[in-house]
Amino acid sequence: MKGAWGILLILLAGGEVRAQNAPAMPLDTGKQIFDAACNGCHGPGGKGQPQTTLGFEPPDTFPDFTDCNGSSRERVADWRATIHEGGSPRGFSEIMPSFAEALTREQIGKVADYLRSLCSEPAWPRGELNLPRGFLTEKAFPEDEWVLSTSATRRTVGNELSYEKRFGAKTQLELAFPANFAKRENKDWIGGIGDFVIGLKRVLAFGQNTILSVQGEVAAPTGNRQQGLGAGLTTFETFAAFGQILPGDSFFQFQGGFELPVSTENVSRAAFGHFNFGKTLKANKGWGREWIPMVEFAADRDLESGAKINWDIAPQMQVALNKRQHIRASAGYQIPLNNTSGRSKQVVFYILWDWFDGGIRDGWK
């Protein structure tokens, strides 16, 4: 949601009276409810009314629900919550009232489903497929995000700032800027930049509950291998990412691919697979802040004769920090399950800003 994307419906008092006093007007479908109560602000077909027609100063431009770039990436559950709770509890304008007493859950669902139908272009994956981000498993959904992530052991600290930019319905550019720190044998710490990464993601297919993407990346040798701050050579990575919505607000994600350095003299080619299982829990009887416990399993193996598969587990918890829920944090622990020699446990953390949904200071009050 961007700005007024969270201001969904304004149930005018007159509209409610008309619904009560005019039984000849059926209110059985989402469109009928919308046309009876919401046209005054959101306009015919959900394209928004101009200020000259509104008669008051809106908090921002009203959304155009026919604009697939904005509406397709939103979740129907978020629209339902904003209709039920009103604007303020969801980090939007107070001009958006709560419909908790005016509409039943079924009616709210019908209106939200109608809003979803206003995007008529089938090329856009729906927002429900934007599953929660894990530490290890790349999402299949193209997104607009900034993510600052950290992993730490007793001897190393790795930081990475990632920028993700969506282009059109199915493509995403990703840039990653690492900064790493390592403890020397003399107990002094050194730090510097790691290997800069650029990647391109493309959605291949999606359905109602599934999405499949492929991504290619190249890591430039901008870090210092001698100091343990990078691989020291150009490395290509290619992988597929898959997401599946499961019953009960649960989900499964998979990422599998290959790391292919241009030279294998010091760094081996490797294959990897990441698996992410999670469930979304919502406060306030399903209308409020999201808490998302997840557990990831990671496997990797050097593509050399006799190499063993390394397995890790990473339990973690993601939580929405603000009311709009477009700024989130996650913390967890990555633990080697086998071949533990030379492989340390890591504390992992990230903070995520979905910048398409609003500014970094938006949605807190």
Tell me which of 2.60.40.1120, 2.40.160.40, 2.60.40.1220, 3.40.50.620 is the CATH number of domain 127-357: 2.40.160.40
Q: What is the mean pLDDT of residues 135-153?
A: 97
Q: 320 - beta bridge partners?
A: 328
Structure tokens at 67: 């604009």
Convert 313-346 to b/e letters by CB count within 10 Å (16 or more is b). Answer: ebebebebbbbbbbbbebebebebeeeeeeeeeb
Q: What is the mean pLDDT of residues 80-91?
A: 89
11 confidence band (pLDDT: 50, 70, 90): very low
Strand pairing report for 346-353 and 145-152: antiparallel
Rg (C-alpha) for the chain, rounded Å, is 24
pLDDT at position 8, please?
A: 40
What would the pLDDT profile of 262-289 be if each residue is shown by its tens digit?
998 888 999 999 999 999 999 999 999 9
What would the pLDDT profile of 45-76 be if each residue is shown by its tens digit?
887 777 667 666 666 667 788 999 999 999 99
* Helix (H/G/I), strand (E/B), else coil: 355: helix
| Mean pLDDT of the chain, nearest integer | 88
Q: Which fold has domain 3-117?
A: Cytochrome Bc1 Complex; Chain D, domain 2 (1.10.760)
What would the pLDDT profile of 103-133 be if each residue is shown by its tens digit?
889 988 999 999 999 999 999 999 999 999 9
CB 228 within 8 A of CB 156: yes
Residue 364, CA distances (Å) to 10, 19, 92, 358 in order: 21, 35, 9, 11
Ranges of CATH 1.10.760 domains, the chain = 3-117
Q: What is the mean pLDDT of residues 301-321?
A: 96
Q: Is the pLDDT reported for residue 253 higher than 50?
A: yes
Q: What is the mean pLDDT of residues 165-180?
A: 96
Alpha carbon distance, N-terminus to C-terminus of the chain: 16
Round to whole Å and give the CA distance between 181 and 91: 37
Structure tokens at 27: 């209110």
Instruction: Identify the weakest region by mean pLDDT among 5-14, 93-102, 204-213.
Output: 5-14
Q: What is the reported pTM?
A: 0.89
CB 203 within 8 A of CB 142: yes
Written as one string, the DSSP assignment of 231-278 is -SS-EEEEEEEEEEEETTTEEEEEEEEEEEES--SSS--EEEEEEEEE
Q: Is the pLDDT reported for residue 4 higher than 50?
A: no
Round to whole Å and give the CA distance between 194 and 290: 33
Q: What is the mean pLDDT of residues 21-34?
A: 71
Q: What is the mean pLDDT of residues 3-14?
A: 37
Ranges of CATH 2.40.160.40 domains, the chain = 127-357
